[in-house]
Amino acid sequence: MTTEQITLVAAIASAIGALAAAVATVILARLTSRYVRLTSNLVEETRATRAPEVVVDLEFVEILPRLMIANRGATPAYDVRIRVVERNVAWKQSKDDSRITDLAPIKRGVSFLPPGRTMRYTVYTIDLQKTLEADAALEFEVSYRDEQRREFRREYSIEFAAFNYMLIEGSQKPHEVVADAIRRAADQLKREPRFMMNPTRACPVCCERILAAARKCRYCLEPVEPLPPKATGEPAA
């Protein structure tokens, strides 16, 4: 081969090598970009599975409505705030029982809600018969943060019409409900006679009856300050 031919072959080989390198670079860049997207999606999915999930629902126990606030996620929820919007909900006139907007989690929020925790509050003041006859609903706007201070927002709408026939078919007669409640109260007093001898008070968080000297509510498991001896009627030690 002549010198010119050798030079031409070398130039062609160099061009082919440069082209192959360019193609490889483009392919590698695309593969890298795809890998980054897949990794990012995987990270987001992992975060989502580890995120708290605060839900609000209304359940019925023997035709008595009970508000439920729960964290169904895998990590704690912080600074839980709940805003309630009522639509055609009928309320009974009662000085002793609270409406939903008067409950502590609604008024003051919940600073810490661990995973798996469920808080329940019986709402005696809902006039269920009138509420079921109307186009009534409760709408909840829930906001909370996770351990990284990321903010989450959820909206829940509870329409009472969905419970109408379920309550009619599954509810007991009023006298049966009262009789069952009396039996359960008697059984509880037999199992825990200390409640008959020791003073009690309402839990400041869930409003259930607990011992006045209790430091932790046995229903919602929240820590509470024990009342002083003067407030409980017990002699000071």
| pLDDT tens for the chain, residues 1 to 237 | 677 777 877 778 888 888 888 888 888 888 888 888 887 776 666 655 678 999 999 888 767 888 999 999 989 999 999 999 999 999 888 776 678 888 889 999 999 999 999 999 888 888 888 888 888 999 999 999 999 899 999 999 999 888 776 655 444 555 555 566 677 666 666 655 554 567 888 888 877 888 888 888 888 888 898 877 655 444 444
CA 9 to chain centroid:
73
CATH 2.60.40 fits 54-170, yes or no: yes
Specify the residue for token string 């820590």. 223
92 contact partners, CB below 8 Å, separation of at least 6: 124, 125, 126, 127
Q: Residues with Cβ < 8 Å from 160, sequence gap 6 or more?
A: 89, 131, 132, 134, 136, 137, 138
**Which of these, 147, 140, 149, lies nearest to 103 by C-alpha position?**
140
What type of residue sits at position 100? I
Distance from the first to the final alpha carbon of the chain: 114
Dist CA 222 CA 226 (whole Å): 12
